[in-house]
Amino acid sequence: MLEALVDRLRTALRSLYLLAFPGVLSTPQLSFTIDMPAGRRAFRPVRGRFVIRGWVVTFEDRQAPAVRVRVGRAVYGARRMSRPDVRDAFGLDLPESCGFDLALHLGRGLHLVQIQVQTGAGGWRPLSTGWVLSLGLKPKPSPRVDYGSWTRLEAAWLDAERPELARHAAELEDGPQFLVTIGGDGDRAPTLASLDRQIYRRFSIAPETPAAPAMAGRYTLFLQAGDVLADDALYALADQVAMRGPLDVIYGDEDLVDAAGERRPGAFKPGWSPLYLTGAPWLGRAVAYAADLGDSAADALAALKARSEVRTAQVRRVLLHRPSGDLEALRREIAGAPAPTAVSSPAVRLVLIDGAAGTKGLPAVAVDRAMLGGWASPPSWLETIGDDEVLVFIEREAAAPAPEDLHRLAAALTLPGVGVAGPALAWKDELWCGLTGGCGDPEPIRLGRDALAPAVVHEVLGVGLQGLATRKRDFVAAGGFTPSIGGLLQGLDYCLRSADRDQVTVVEPAARLALTRTPRPPAPEAVSWHQQTWPEACAQDPFYREDALATHPATHAPAFLVRIP
């Protein structure tokens, strides 16, 4: 009697579960297993980090369908994993990449989590559903090191590495020759003294007469009197040539030093950016040019701009210390001279997201956030917009934009290779110029009003939806924005997907939008999804280098130990 009652109870509970979450069990056409959390039991409480792992296959077409995870109203795509054990177990011609994996950091609270699989018709069906109680514990970020402490650490590393660097420098018998020219009317003594301390010794100092004729394997440094080269500067440049072969230009970072020897932050340079170089001579003086580029820095820069392909290498460390009085010259090199921006541009359509403020003089369309992406086919609001029109997305955090600023964004999209453009966002005493990877936690690039910052169009890792311009055809080709991850991450994710299509993201500083409030930070699980989806962008931002100071001694290695194929 009791056993029969228990069986009826189980049947009733199973029917209720299937009614609430239909299609959660395997069918003849589909089979799956969720390894973590185990089986179909309710998900367990977690201390912040929640890992989902398993496999799924469809037998009808023998494919590995896409899998996503819904947390509340947000959805996150799972990564594909190789599971040869599943293929071998079935003994069928199934795809090896039938596994899926997703690790999320859930904020504190109770979360309804559902694992979903894409059906052949493009819809989504649940595989498993449960509640997750998260304590939301997250380690505190490591404190940043002030620049004075950083320079003392750097000096200590160099002292420890010097014997090994000197040994390797002696092995570079066929290493490049450097010709160092010293211009200007300042004190040459500090510059000459720094050359005497160089670990790499295959260099000569040019007289004030014209340089010798260019020859193969020689590179030229154009210094100014008072510049101080780091002791390992020429070694670091030579090491790049030894690793990569002949190069056109090799460059590193620069900072400022006063008469007392105290160093201040200077220019942590971006990855190679020809677009930025057209408006600003940002390479500075910590740079070695191939001798055939010219007999002056101006000639070398002009030759680089004229070449369609340039062989470059970047040394991500400070190679040159400028006199502190050079601050304004350094500022001009980084900022550049903005060219007049034509206000005539492709047709612009303003896209107002969730009630954002519009502006007079431009056609606008109001769009709910749910219609920005995740659709199987473009939504109806895109049908009346031409393929060549520029969509400028504006979120509620931004004030009503001026028409000329939107046209400047559209004009930036006409530059070669540019697929996404964003404005400088004004907030209190700061300018927000794009987004950086933030060592895994993406955040705006915040610049003070007196910061060393480009005044010309320049590349960035990404921009947020507070102001993002892109062509309609590119937006449709990308499938819109990834849904439910927040405006900062939606914009950054779109820019990174554009980069995969060989398109560049830029900030146009002449276009300004005022923020009325700070953007809402992305949810912890959205950040962890982003970290898994774009690990390289989170580890290193090629266009924003302030994170150089976050390096710790334990992660440092001499440059010659890193071999780049």
Rounded Cα gap, residues 488 and 481, in angstroms: 11
DSSP conformational letter for 462: B
Rounded Cα gap, residues 231 and 246, in angstroms: 23
Buried/exposed 145-167: b ≥16 CB within 10 Å, e otherwise:
eeeeebbebbeebbeebeeebee
pLDDT of residue 104: 87
pLDDT of residue 248: 96
Does the pTM surpass 0.75? The reply is yes
Cβ pair 398, 513 in contact under 8 A: yes
pLDDT of residue 9: 62
How many C-beta atoms lie closer than 10 Å to residue 558's C-beta? 18
What SS3 state is found at 561? helix
Q: What does the pLDDT look like over 24-56, one tens digit per residue?
A: 444 557 888 888 886 555 566 677 778 888 888
pLDDT of residue 293: 93
Cβ pair 512, 447 in contact under 8 A: no
HSE (CB half, 13 Å, CA atoms) of 148?
A: 3
pLDDT of residue 24: 41
Q: What does the pLDDT look like over 123-132, one tens digit per residue?
A: 788 888 888 8
Cβ pair 231, 295 in contact under 8 A: no
pLDDT of residue 209: 43
Rounded Cα gap, residues 491 and 372, in angstroms: 11
Rounded Cα gap, residues 42 and 48, in angstroms: 17
Low-confidence ranges of the chain (pLDDT < 70): 1-28, 38-45, 121-122, 138-145, 208-216, 339-345, 438-440, 449, 546-565
pLDDT of residue 12: 58
- Delineate the domains of the chain, giving CATH numbers in brackets: 2-134 (2.60.40.10), 147-337 (3.90.550), 348-549 (3.90.550.10)
pLDDT of residue 565: 25
